[in-house]
Amino acid sequence: MNPALEPTQPKPMRLHPRVDADFAVRLEAGTRSVLARAVDLSLAGLALHDPAGELREGDFDRVSLRIPGQSRELSLPIRFARRHRDRVALAFSDLDWDDLFCLARYLSPRL
């Protein structure tokens, strides 16, 4: 069979779709903090631009971010999910309802 005619496998659907992001975030662990740039965001987590490969698993346990158009800064518990090339994926853990609604208000009109 011609490979061009073979059926392709659909990409798996994400539970929480991502939207592009371009804002600063602060990663925190104790008194240590580092600024980074968000490249996408979902209800489940966010991806950061890390071309130098400086962000590693276990380095940080919280992320602080001010979502554009929102009045308050969020400080969310995170865990390292994976690294792919120059990006690091972080997953949110234990979001409270206020944080979840704040994220949803930003994300929903962009989906």
pLDDT in tens, 15-30: 788 999 999 999 999 8
Q: Is residue 7 situated within a structural domain?
A: no
Q: Is residue 99 situated within a structural domain?
A: yes
Q: Is residue 5 situated within a structural domain?
A: no
Q: Is residue 11 situated within a structural domain?
A: no
Structure confidence at residue 69 (pLDDT): 84
Domain count, the chain: 1
Structure confidence at residue 33 (pLDDT): 93
Question: Looking at residue 102, which CATH number applies to its domain?
Answer: 2.40.10.220
How would residue 5 be classed by pLDDT, with cut points 50, 70 and 90?
Answer: low
Q: Is residue 10 situated within a structural domain?
A: no
* DSSP assignments along the chain, one per residue: --GGGSPPPPPPPPSS--EEEEEEEEEEETTEEEEEEEEEE-SSEEEEE-TT----TTS-SEEEE--TT-SS-EEEEEEEEEEETTEEEEEE-S--HHHHHHHHHHHGGG-
Q: Is residue 71 situated within a structural domain?
A: yes
Structure confidence at residue 11 (pLDDT): 53
Is pLDDT above 60 for 1?
Answer: no
Domain region containing 75: 18-110
Q: Is residue 69 situated within a structural domain?
A: yes
- Whole-model pTM: value is 0.81
